[in-house]
Structure 1
Amino acid sequence: MAWSGVWVLGWLFGLVLAQSVLTVEMQQLCRAVKVMNSSLVFKERVHFMRHNMPINFTIKIHYEEVFKLRNVSRLRRNLQDQDLQDVDLQETWLRVNLGILKKIKNLLPRKHPSYNYTADLETLLLSVEQVFTDLKEQREPRESPERIGNIWEALATPLGKRRTEATPKSLLDNCYHTMLCVFHSCFPSVDYCQRAFWRNEKKAQVTPTPPLSSTDITTGKAGQ
């Protein structure tokens, strides 16, 4: 009987310790996400991804990389009986936006005024991914829903027929909006998953720059 009591106490201690580790890791994840958040404010997105880019400039991306709030809502609605969890949406967000930032950065010359901003965002996102991976390893292994796995598989393939084009600004808008939604535990005061909230997003006033030519993106003259 005494040994049973010791075993129970040991099990409870291990459970509390595991929860403490998860709490610390979650706090670290939220800190990393909030640093990313501070670099994705509206003024920065407009300045670096619109004013420093040629008019109507777009990049080729996977169809799945257009990851908006409505995509998050649709996945939650359609997979509600398939054990969809926040961690699945968070990992999808990470994979989508790491690919997007890599594509944008690869198109920009190092002297382009938006190159360092894009590279810094990629570094911040890699930091979020590292903490996220550490946290995921502390959890019980599980298989994500098939639909989520299909998205991840598509993102890992070369661009094919299911490709589209989008402006860098619109892609970073999606990154910002969905980040606040899928990491809602880090931003609990507002329901950022509601699209109606973003209709009232306060637009920062940024002085526009003169229109750019279609060759400015490769010469690095934009914004100079």
Structure 2
Amino acid sequence: MIQSPISLFLLGGLLALYLMAPVLMASTPASMCTPLKTLNDSLSHRRRYMKHNFPINYSIRVYHEEIFKLSNISRMRLKVDGLDDLVLQRLWFQVNQGVLKKIIRVMPERHPSRSYTAEVERRFRDAEGVFVQSHPAEVFQQELPETVQDIWDQLTEESDRVLESNWRFASPKSLVDNLCHTMYCLFSECFSSTEAQQDYCGVPHSKRGKKTSNPKAEMEPVE
């Protein structure tokens, strides 16, 4: 049966849409993966620099909203219908730029972890720059859902205007762990293994590891 030119054109269009579907559905631009994997390489050394170089039980003061865990992402997804991953990615950058600045701020110039943290912060900013360039400017002008906007407003509040009840204390290691775990969740396309699809938005590997024979298991950087 000979198909008409119109039929062939429509068939070609449908095939093109089918091939493009994975690209259109991906929430993370491919250009983001290189800077995020570079950041991930630095984060692989966080135990040494964020734990061993600090006194036992050392903690710093941060906004309540800066303790940003996988559970926060889960709650927002349940609370806000159709919450776009792009909105959560924007929030992730806003949260963690403040976290890294606060960690650096408490370190003396000669602190053994200062240069490492500055490197992490620099690589984080590089990833943020690519993130902004990878989306049209209009994306960042869109209104945020009310739940997310409330968090954003708290994060951008001047510290001297923040209520005492909104401050929390957390260790540098736990804050950087949160940065790492939520990065895997929100940018999972960059870290998904070809062998098996992992649920990076579920229970962190470090918690799963407590039930295994290795009590010191910690979520390792993804190759």
Asked if 1 retains the 8 angstrom alpha-carbon contact of 2:70 and 2:182, the reply is: yes
Q: What TM-score comes out, normalization by structure 2 length?
A: 0.75
How many residues in Structure 1 have an aligned counterpart in Structure 2? 189
Distance apart, 1:38 and its partner CA? 1.4
Unaligned runs of 5+ in 2: 1-12, 219-223
- Give the distance between the partners of 1:65 and 1:196, measured in 2 at CA: 18
Asked if 2 retains the 8 angstrom alpha-carbon contact of 1:84 and 1:144, the reply is: no
Q: What TM-score comes out, normalization by structure 1 length?
A: 0.74
- Give the distance between the partners of 1:135 and 1:179, measured in 2 at CA: 17
Cα RMSD after superposing both structures: 3.0
Matched position secondary structure for 1:113: coil
> Aligned runs of 1:69-80 on 2, under 5 Å?
69-79=70-80
Unaligned runs of 5+ in 1: 1-11, 206-224
Between 63-72 and 181-190, the greater mean CA deviation after superposition: 181-190
Asked if 2 retains the 8 angstrom alpha-carbon contact of 1:86 and 1:182, the reply is: yes
Identity rate, percent: 39
- Give the distance between the partners of 1:155 and 1:193, measured in 2 at CA: 23
> Aligned runs of 1:2-81 on 2, under 5 Å?
26-41=29-44, 44-79=45-80, 81=81
Asked if 2 retains the 8 angstrom alpha-carbon contact of 1:60 and 1:166, the reply is: yes
- Give the distance between the partners of 2:174 and 2:105, measured in 1 at CA: 18
Distance apart, 1:196 and its partner CA? 5.7
Q: Which residue of 2 aligns with 1:173?
A: 177
Distance apart, 1:45 and its partner CA? 1.6
Asked if 1 retains the 8 angstrom alpha-carbon contact of 2:181 and 2:204, the reply is: no
User: Residue 51 and residue 196 in structure 1: after superposition, are their counterparts in 2 closer, same or farther (change >3 A)?
Assistant: closer
Distance apart, 1:47 and its partner CA? 0.9
- Give the distance between the partners of 2:126 and 2:206, measured in 1 at CA: 27
Asked if 1 retains the 8 angstrom alpha-carbon contact of 2:206 and 2:217, the reply is: no
The AA in structure 1 aligned to 2:46 is R
The AA in structure 2 aligned to 1:75 is M
